[in-house]
């Protein structure tokens, strides 16, 4: 009898796993998130291209803090601050550049000719960050967009997918600035409604029942192993 119960439990778990894995049930995943927040990396002298284990200079960190501070002053959600940091990482590596492609300048490489502001204004980190936030927050549905999509909708870059690779470094810097970034981490806090919920409910009801080989009565139709 014990062996039969083990077989039943394994079969039920396999069925539930199949349903859960194939059902896009978790809301945070749709809008983009990071797998985890890395611990502060060790310093690696000579590293020129900050990435997942980025080591930022004091000036770069100061610019990142300016972006976060402006976001807080505007009441921008953590997600908006995350998008802003990742965007500036891609556009300028958090360096307040005095030039760039055509007339692009500053942390976000914004262009005076496109109505972002004057060159002097856009090389002021606080002004540049506020200009970015204002356009992002005015964008309908930005909260539900993947980071790269939201950034691209504001920036209109020639490389729209490039922003995505900065999701983790931006989350790490945001966490280091004292913000809670739990909402940015992918995870299963609750089981979603739908097929996964039905399968788990059925599995729970079968616990402790004697095993009968070949029995199918009461098995939800969506479970196929």
Task: Retrieve residue 46's tokens.
Answer: 């000579």
103-146: pLDDT as tens digits: 999 999 999 999 999 999 999 999 999 999 999 999 999 999 99
When pLDDT is cut at 50, 70 and 90, the band that residue 100 belongs to is: confident
Q: What is the largest CA-CA distance in the chain?
A: 79
53-68: pLDDT as tens digits: 568 999 999 999 999 9
CB-based contacts of 43, cutoff 8 Å, min separation 6: 55
Q: How many CB atoms lie within 10 A of CB 213?
A: 7
């Amino acid at each position: 009898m014990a062996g039969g119960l083990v077989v039943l439990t394994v079969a039920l778990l396999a069925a539930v796993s199949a349903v859960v894995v194939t059902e896009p049930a978790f809301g945070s995943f749709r809008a983009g998130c990071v797998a985890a927040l890395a611990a502060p990396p060790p310093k690696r002298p000579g590293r020129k291209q900050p990435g997942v284990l980025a080591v930022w200079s004091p000036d770069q960190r100061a610019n990142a803090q300016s972006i976060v501070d402006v976001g807080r002053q505007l009441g921008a959600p953590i997600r908006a601050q995350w998008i802003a940091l990742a965007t500036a990482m891609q556009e300028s590596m958090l360096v307040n550049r005095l030039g760039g492609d055509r007339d692009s300048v500053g942390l976000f490489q914004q262009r005076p000719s496109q109505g972002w502001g004057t060159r002097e204004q856009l090389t002021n980190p606080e002004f540049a960050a506020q200009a970015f936030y204002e356009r992002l927050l005015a964008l309908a549905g930005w909260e539900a967009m993947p980071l790269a999509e939201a950034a691209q909708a504001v920036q209109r870059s020639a490389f729209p997918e490039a922003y995505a690779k900065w999701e983790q470094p931006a989350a790490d810097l945001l966490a280091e600035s004292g913000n809670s970034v739990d909402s940015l981490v992918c995870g299963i806090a609750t089981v979603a409604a739908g097929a996964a919920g039905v399968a788990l409910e059925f599995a729970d009801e079968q616990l402790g029942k004697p095993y009968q080989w070949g029995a199918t009565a009461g098995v939800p139709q969506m479970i196929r192993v």
